[in-house]
């Protein structure tokens, strides 16, 4: 299983071989050194940070691994082949591969039931007055309480979200940047966990894969 940590940079667009626009999300992926090896998993680090912003316990953890850098993020992935000091970089990824991405979604603040849960709301006319987006009844006379889990207004967003079936469109190894077809969770700067779910057959080559795209520059207007 191939995996890597990344940071969301924002949205952009590219053109395929038929000059169709493909909306893509740009992410900065790796490099991620292996910090610790456990029984069935490895711990990798991502995004360097200054020593003055790292407590002594964390500094000792990195020095034990033989690293002279401190990292902001540490995540574990199942693996038995890697060892301490190995570096996972963007070169393991290829255009056309299917991936799933996990991250924290954007925070929306306090929202009502129409936006938070998709309620249809009441009629805007025919006697309705200042009540179009109200939730309606939240319980009956018996048992005289509101059941746990009732869909009501509240804080929306900042949840761990996993988006599946995304496709890598382009890989920029010089800048450690990926172009991914579609949207991924979170705002700019959000930490992302990328796991490859379907690899490209290297014998066939990414240019012959159905999921791969021929990236061309934007046509001049």
pTM of the model: 0.82
Closest residue by Cα to residue 1 from 74, 76, 78 = 78
What secondary structure does DSSP assign to 158-218, as a single string?
--EEEEEEEEEEEEETTTTEEEEES--SSSTT-EEEEEEEE---TTT-GGGSTT----BPP
pLDDT given for residue 17 in this prediction: 85
Say how many domains are in the chain. 1
In a domain, residue 123? The reply is: yes
Each residue's pLDDT expressed in tens, for the chain with a length of 221 residues: 899 999 999 999 999 888 999 999 999 998 999 999 998 999 999 999 999 999 999 999 999 999 989 999 999 999 999 999 899 999 999 999 999 999 999 999 999 999 999 999 999 999 999 999 999 999 999 999 999 999 999 999 999 999 999 999 999 999 999 999 989 999 999 999 999 998 875 544 455 444 444 455 544 43
Nearest to 75 by CA among 33, 107, 39: 33
For the four alpha carbons of 108, 110, 112 and 113, in that order, the dihedral sign comes to positive
Residue 21 lies in a domain: no
What pLDDT sits at residue 209? 47
Residue 119 maps to a domain: yes
In a domain, 113, yes or no: yes
The answer for residues whose C-beta is within 8 angstroms of residue 197's C-beta and 6 or more apart is 98, 99, 100, 164
143 is a domain residue: no
Note down the domain range covering 114. 109-136+149-157
Is 90 within the bounds of a domain?
Answer: no
Secondary structure (DSSP) of 28-41: EE--EEEEEE-SSE
pLDDT score recorded for residue 219: 47
Q: Is 120 within a domain?
A: yes
């Amino acid at each position: 299983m191939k995996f890597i940590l990344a940071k969301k940079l924002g949205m952009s667009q590219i053109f395929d071989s038929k000059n169709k626009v493909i909306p893509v999300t740009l992410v900065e992926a790796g490099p991620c050194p292996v910090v610790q090896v456990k029984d069935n998993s490895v711990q990798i680090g991502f995004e360097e940070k200054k020593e003055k912003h790292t407590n002594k316990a964390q500094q000792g953890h990195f020095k034990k691994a033989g690293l002279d850098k401190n990292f902001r993020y540490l995540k574990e992935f199942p693996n038995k082949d890697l060892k301490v000091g190995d570096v996972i970089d963007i070169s393991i990824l290829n255009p056309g591969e299917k991936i799933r991405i996990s991250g924290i979604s954007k925070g929306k603040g306090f929202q009502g039931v129409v936006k938070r849960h998709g309620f249809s709301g009441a009629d805007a006319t025919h006697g309705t007055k200042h009540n179009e987006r109200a939730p309606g009844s939240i319980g009956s006379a018996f048992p005289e309480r509101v059941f746990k889990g009732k869909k009501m207004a509240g804080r929306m967003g900042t949840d761990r979200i996993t988006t599946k079936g995304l496709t890598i469109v382009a890989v920029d190894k010089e800048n450690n940047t990926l172009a991914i077809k579609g949207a991924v969770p979170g705002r700019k700067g959000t930490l992302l966990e990328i796991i490859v779910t379907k690899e490209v057959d290297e014998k066939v080559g990414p240019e012959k894969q159905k999921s791969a795209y021929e990236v061309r520059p934007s046509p001049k207007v």
